[in-house]
Amino acid sequence: MKVNTMKSNKNSTQQLLRNDGIPFDASLFEEININRSAVERRASTLSGRRSVKKQWQAAWLLKAISCIDLTTLAGDDTPSNVQRLCAKAKSPVRLDILEAMGMQDENIHVGAVCVYHNFIKEAVKGLQGSSIPVAAVSTGFPAGNIPLKERIRQIEISVTAGAKEIDIVVSRDLIIQSDWKTLYNEVAACRKACGDAHMKTILATGEISTYTKVAKASWVSMMAGSDFIKTSTGKEPVNATLPVSLVMIRTIREYYELTGYKVGFKPAGGISKAKQAVNWLVLIKEELGNDWLTPDLFRFGASSLLGDIERQLEHFVTGRYSAAFRHPMA
């Protein structure tokens, strides 16, 4: 299978070919060996190699907003705070700021709203009239240690409730024990249960000890038909990092070169500053190319990132930093 290298940005309007997965083939990833120090060096020097300033920074930050999965996954969620989140998702930036940038007609909104199953209906209602999908975390999020049958059932009821995107967690024990075939079967079963809903597979990389295993788990998840692979639940002690993201997106590139399927990437957890968001966009642009800089193929899982971006955008427009209370809360 030979595929063109990605260079142009032109075909981003084309319908994305959905990853249907490929048959399990351990030979495709068995020999992976990730060089930890080289990966960490690349990740740590990348932000010094590119500088995005002025109107470029403003435009990139707006792009970052369009890629946010605006998330609330708290024990005390209620319909009212989910409603507020949806309202914020539809108009993430104050109108006067958008007008000052000439972006008021561009329909800037976040990539999705991400909630627990119990609030899907509320979120669907809150997002009526917009094209923003509701994403639900599923399969026993965040630990996933419930029977597979129950996990499948969760996906099905979430899809029925109106979730267009399902964020699943994988069985970390299978990764730790290198039981790749079982992992493949589980993820493939989840994908089947998702139907038309897009599936993001969370590896929980903070609980995987080596980059080599992260890469192998990424391969298995993509082979089993994941639409996105995602770093973390946000509940592990270590969440999204640039090095672990680098390892994952390099497997996305290899998988694309092999199959022609573009799999998306979602770092989640601990991304709360505009500067971090730019660093991630640089990483994606450098390693995967412009094609991936779209909400179809890239998302941030974040709750407080938007607030910092709003303050940066106001600074771009006015030259001054404002207090957080000057931006409408979610």
Window 288-317: contact mask with other proteins (x via CB under 8 A): -xx--x------------------------
For other proteins, the binding residue among 52, 114, 202, 204 (CB under 8 A) is 52
How far is Cα 264 from Cα 55, in angstroms, rounded to an integer? 27
Give the count of beta carbons closer than 10 Å to the beta carbon of residue 318: 12
Angle at CA of residue 202, ends 247 and 111, nearest 5° = 95
Distance CA 232, CA 170 (A): 11
Q: CA 305 to CA 239: how far, in whole Å?
A: 15
Q: What is the dihedral of CA 245, 12, 190, 114, to 10 degrees?
A: 70
Q: Lay out the site mask for other proteins across 172-211 (x = CB under 8 A, - = otherwise).
A: ----------------------------------------
Q: Which is nearer to other proteins, 85 or 284 (CB)?
A: 284
How many residues at the interface with other proteins, by CB under 8 A?
37
Site for other proteins in 99-118 (CB under 8 A): 101-103, 106
Q: CA-CA distance, 265 to 296, in Å (whole number)?
A: 9
Burial of 130 (0-12, 13-18, 19+ CB in 10 A): middle
Residue 71: closest CA among 191, 167, 204: 167
* Binding window for other proteins (CB under 8 A); candidates: 31-39, 200-208, 268-276, 299-307: 31-39
**Minimum distance from residue 246 beta carbon to other proteins (Å):** 9
Q: Which of 18, 53, 275, 326 binds other proteins (CB under 8 A)?
A: 53
Find the binding residues for other proteins in span 225-284 (CB under 8 A): 250, 281
Active site residues: 167, 230, 266
**Which residues contribute to the site for other proteins (CB under 8 A)?**
5, 7, 9, 31-35, 38-39, 41-42, 48-56, 58-60, 62-63, 101-103, 106, 250, 281, 285-286, 289-290, 293
